[in-house]
Structures are given as structure tokens and as C-alpha cells.
Amino acid sequence: MAGRYDKNPFDEEEEEVNPFADTTARGKASGQSKFGGGLFSTSTASVPPASNSRLSPLPPEPAGFSYEREATVDIPLDTASGGSRNQDLKKKEKELQAKEAELRRREQEVRRKEEAVARAGVVLEEKNWPPFFPIIHHDIANEIPIHLQRLQYVAFSTYLGLVLCLLWNIIAVTTAWIKGEGVRIWFLAIIFFIAGVPGAYVLWYRPLYRAFRNESALRFGWFFLFYLLHIAFCIFAAVAPPIVFRGKSLTYVP
């Protein structure tokens, strides 16, 4: 019976160890323990220093992130071309500054002239008539006093009538030339038109316009003198005496 309860011959002889006993005291008593105490061990076993270990510790890395070192590539810069480009930019900047200064100087000069003209009382006239091809300045509604605008419109209508009559004279003389009257009367009609239209504007219509605008007595006198000459010419053309090419060069008045 005693043989049934014999110990296992392959088991090592172990000393019964109380897991809750003080390992430090037991360690001192036994000299050296074979086990570290397992899960419930509270022993403070000495750890050999890191200098005695064969492998050096790895540097700590943050969890969840991996960093890779990228090789840096040195790209040489073309300093020569960069310097020339900078010089070109500076040159263009200086040219733009010079042009800007020149424009500013011209603008100041024009403004100075305008102020001098305004102080002298000279009115700058902008060409605005006829609308499709402005060649003269004409603005009765804004420059002529209200009580004189009616007379100015009558004078303007007279001037336009003269232009139409001289144009009709060219058409009539051209018809006569086709019928065999000769080319000399046609050339004379052209001369009447070329000289009469601007002549009437300069000699009597514009003086009347400026006289009404500035109420100048001198300009009124100039207007009356040349307007009388204009009336005399119209009477001569209406009678058409046989003096100049038998009166056939002035046929615009029936």
C-alpha cells in the first residue's frame, strides 16, 4: 500500500513554497531561489545595467506613426542667369519709372496751360458739329442766352440754307455742262461752294455766335458788315446778270 503513494521518481525535489510568504526573507534563508515568484511575485530583482547588455536599446517611436528619412538632393542654382534676370527686371523698372515721370510732367504742363487759359478768360471750344464728323463748335442751347437763342437759330438756318443753295448750284451747273454749256461754269460753281461755305461761317456766322455768347459790341459790328455783303451776293446770284459767263454760273436761285 505504501508503494501506491510513492512520489514520482521523475519529479524534482522541490521545497514547498508559500506564494504568500516574504520572498526576501526566504531568499536570504535559502541563498538563491530558482523561480521569480510567478504572477504574485513582489521581489525586486536586480536588473543588469544596460551597458552590460549585448544589444543597444532602440530609440522610442510614437505608436501608430512611421517616419522615413528622405534623402535630400542639392539642386545647384544658376546664379549667372538669375543675376542677369534681376538686372533686366531692374532695368525695365527704371524705364517704367522714367516713363511715368515723363507722363506726370506732361500732365502737369497741360494742367498749367489750362489754368493759364482759364485765368485769361479764353474759352476752349470742342468740336461737336456735325455729329457724324465734328468740324466746328456749336452749342446754342448751353452757350447762348435764352432771350437770344431764337435769333441764333434763325441765323443758323440761314447759313444752312446758303450751304444747300451752293450745293444745288453745283447740280444745276453740272446739268448745263452736260447740255453743252462748257466746263468753265462748272469750275466756277465749285469755287463758289468751296469758298462760300467756310467763308460765310468765318465772316458772319461765327462772329454773331460769339457776339451773342459774350455780348460783345465789336463782334456785332463785324457781323453786320459781312452779313450785308452776304445779302448783296445773294441778290446778285438771284438776278444772275449776263456778266460772268452770261449768268449761267449762278443759277442756284430760281
Q: Is residue 29's pLDDT more than 70?
A: no
In a domain, 214, yes or no: yes
- What the block records as the C-alpha cell of 175 is 446739268
Residue 182 CA to its chain's centroid (Å): 61
In a domain, 25, yes or no: no
CA–CA dist 208, 202 (Å, integer): 10
In a domain, 156, yes or no: yes
User: The pTM is what?
Assistant: 0.53
Residue 188 CA to its chain's centroid (Å): 54
Q: Are 220 and 211 in contact (CB under 8 A)?
A: yes
Per-residue confidence band for 253, with pLDDT thresholds at 50, 70 and 90 = very low
Q: Is residue 163's pLDDT more than 90?
A: yes
Average pLDDT over residues 111-120: 79
The count of domains in the chain is 1
Per-residue confidence band for 25, with pLDDT thresholds at 50, 70 and 90 = very low
In a domain, 225, yes or no: yes
* pLDDT tens-digit readout, 180-235: 877 888 888 899 899 999 999 999 999 999 999 888 788 889 999 999 998 998 88
User: CA 145 → CA 129, 140, 150, 245, distances in Å?
Assistant: 19, 8, 10, 46
pLDDT at 76: 53
Average pLDDT over residues 116-143: 83
Looking at the DSSP assignment, which residues form a beta bridge with residue 136?
A: 129
Burial class of residue 19 (count of CB atoms within 10 Å of its CB; 0-12, 13-18, 19+): exposed
Please provide the distance, in angstroms rounded to a whole number, between the alpha carbons at the two ends of the chain.
174
pLDDT, mean over the chain? 74
Cis peptide before 130 (omega within 30 of 0): yes
CA–CA dist 30, 26 (Å, integer): 6
pLDDT at 28: 44
CA–CA dist 197, 159 (Å, integer): 8
Domain that holds residue 234: 146-239
Residue ranges of the alpha helices (H) in the chain?
A: 23-30, 79-120, 140-143, 149-176, 184-200, 206-214, 217-239
CA–CA dist 73, 64 (Å, integer): 28
CA–CA dist 14, 136 (Å, integer): 134
In a domain, 201, yes or no: yes
* DSSP category for residue 179: I
Q: Are 109 and 179 in contact (CB under 8 A)?
A: no
In a domain, 244, yes or no: no
Q: Are 250 and 192 in contact (CB under 8 A)?
A: yes
